[in-house]
Chains A and B, each alone.
Chain A
């Protein structure tokens, strides 16, 4: 890492920046939490948190917004990681929001709990009085995110106002808020998908098995491969077939597509990404395809 001319590698620069951001939050907020979904970005974020406070434990809880439609491999991973790190895990349940009548389940073939998560998330932030919420979003994911700040202000309705964002200069972050407001913090803002994988490889970080190629029963819809699962509604004209696939992103079972792949190691995944011609969201997320401004609209409401 250390060369005589003090050049620093891209992963070291990104890691140092992310650690700095985490420590700023721990120092300036009273009740931060870290959104941990068991997906690769949040796994990397968790490793950064481990590094930032070592040898002390991570000084804030983890929170997962559980749609009830998750991949079992990911839930198992989530629970195990929390125990290993001796971290407190808060699970905010979309099912509970439905049961209590806070939100209504969508119906129909394309029903998804994706949008319902926002209410569950905002309710949990309010209930636990979280004033800073770490998210693993990256600016290269989506064009509304390309403009979002590292410290992204949310009003007391949890809303994002993209046209009225606080300027962010140097490494100075404004953490001033009133009671009821909060800041979404994105320590991985400047990472790309490839950086995430390079880092996972370099650090030897464990990730859930569904990121690697495996045989799965799937069907095709809108060019995406959706899994055979009791919560995914499938039509007669959508036959099942077996395919060797892996996941590039981990979201709700109902709207996350798999990609055909033979990659069984992190190295092979990196090779595959280096030549791919589709963004990870474009390839695998039905939720972002809805419209040109789908993400911007959901984010304004308070989505991740």
Chain B
């Protein structure tokens, strides 16, 4: 059994909570006491149906206002897979939450109300999932029961969305007509839509191939922690020096020739250690400890790669940045802390090239700042070299966060598009 992480996006009332409620309920991830609590609250509020959104809207403020404010994580499993749902709110003022949920997602489900068709927000959700490089996208055309399960309506929406998505160069795209309320095509194929020959949503989630979405080509091992037992009683342990980290790309094997950055020195992997014994291969997302044949001065923030396949060593880079703070704006000359893989440095905003209208994709080159939930292309200068790849090639070595030096808050998320 492996794990699929997916994010859900949709506008208010498109049926997101109903869909998640159904997936949880049909996979028995909702327990009786949770359902009772929801039924009780629904009754207290005078709602006649059981409001499944109460299951996901966990904070008091959210329940009081009847909206989802923050990313909630939900879990369910079928015999085939474990699923982690990042349930993100759809309003434009929560763009940052959607970006957060999408950052780790293997797949995104965008809900569309069949009666309303492709709306501005559907386009925004599609753009954001593409920007975050979510590898698989599902367009769930919901409330098919309200359009008489009509194939024509579904096809219209499919064509309109496909035309838009081709401009984005969107990921693997799947369209599924559903009714979250009645369960059509959610867990099993619906008899109400014999014209639909695809699989149910759950079947798709269970079977979509994700193992090859990780970058297994470019070896990238950011050194996270140096393990030195300093053990006085055992000679072997006394001299032990291991470089611990989580593989961010490629497949490493004992005997492989590797390069250490920033020194550029070459050596070989002597062993790949884990608590459970040495392993013959390490690949994402494994957390392992490398021992190397030669004594090189290596510390946290360094990177191990292959001699013939190295990341850019960059102090100047361009990135798409999503700004996440309302207290301050991103402006030219802003000074920030940047955390990229295991390296933390300082960054200076050299230029805001343009601000993007996330609804129309219009580039505003006259913009002088980015405010909360705004996205733009930014040029940064870093105080130390970072070992980076384009985000489109590797989400782990291409993504970074920005931290405000004054408040220590996480104020931005960046996706590298060009490094020098």
Q: Could you tell me which A residues sit within 8 Å of B by CB distance? A: 2, 5-10, 12-17, 19-20, 23-24, 26-27, 50-57, 139-140, 143-147, 162-163, 165-172, 174, 176-178, 189-190, 192, 194-195, 276-279, 282-283, 292-293, 296
Instruction: State whether the Cβ of B74 lies closer than 8 Å to any Cβ in chain A.
Output: yes
A144, B59: Cβ atoms closer than 8 Å: yes
Contacting residues, chain B, for A163 (C-beta < 8 A) = 59, 61, 69-70
**Min CB distance, A291 to chain B, in Å?**
10
Q: Which of B205-264 contact A (CB under 8 A)?
A: 211-212, 214, 216, 224-225, 227-231, 237, 240, 242, 244-246, 251
Instruction: State whether the Cβ of B31 lies closer than 8 Å to any Cβ in chain A.
Output: yes
| Least CB separation from A25: chain B residue | B225
**Min CB distance, A279 to chain B, in Å?**
5
A190, B59: Cβ atoms closer than 8 Å: no
Instruction: State whether the Cβ of B164 lies closer than 8 Å to any Cβ in chain A.
Output: no
> CB-CB contacts of B369-411 with A at 8 A, as 1s and 0s?
0000000000000000000000000011001110100001110
A147, B2: Cβ atoms closer than 8 Å: no
**Assembly CA distance A19 to B273 (angstroms):** 14
B244, A146: Cβ atoms closer than 8 Å: no
Q: Could you tell me which B residues sit within 8 Å of A by CB distance? A: 1-3, 31-34, 37, 41, 55-56, 58-61, 63, 69-75, 77, 81-82, 84, 96-97, 99-100, 103-104, 211-212, 214, 216, 224-225, 227-231, 237, 240, 242, 244-246, 251, 273-276, 279-281, 283, 285-287, 289, 300, 324, 337, 339-340, 342, 395-396, 399-401, 403, 408-410, 413
Contacting residues, chain A, for B408 (C-beta < 8 A) = 174, 176-178
A147, B71: Cβ atoms closer than 8 Å: yes
Contact A27 B73, CB 8 Å, known A9-B2, A10-B3, A282-B31: no
Contacting residues, chain B, for A20 (C-beta < 8 A) = 224, 246, 287
B34, A279: Cβ atoms closer than 8 Å: yes
Identify which of B33, B246, B283, B342 contacts A27 (C-beta below 8 A). Answer: B342
B395, A139: Cβ atoms closer than 8 Å: no
**Assembly CA distance A288 to B148 (angstroms):** 44
B41, A292: Cβ atoms closer than 8 Å: yes
Name the residue among B211, B237, B285 with the largest chain A CB count within 10 angstroms: B285
**Min CB distance, A7 to chain B, in Å?**
5
Identify which of A8, A10, A23 contacts B224 (C-beta below 8 A). Answer: A23
Sampled A-B contacts (17; CB under 8 Å): A6-B212, A20-B246, A23-B224, A27-B342, A53-B227, A139-B75, A140-B75, A143-B58, A162-B59, A167-B324, A176-B403, A176-B408, A192-B75, A276-B31, A282-B31, A292-B41, A296-B59
Identify which of B81, B281, B395 contacts A170 (C-beta below 8 A). Answer: B395
B84, A190: Cβ atoms closer than 8 Å: yes
B2, A55: Cβ atoms closer than 8 Å: no
Contacting residues, chain A, for B31 (C-beta < 8 A) = 276-279, 282
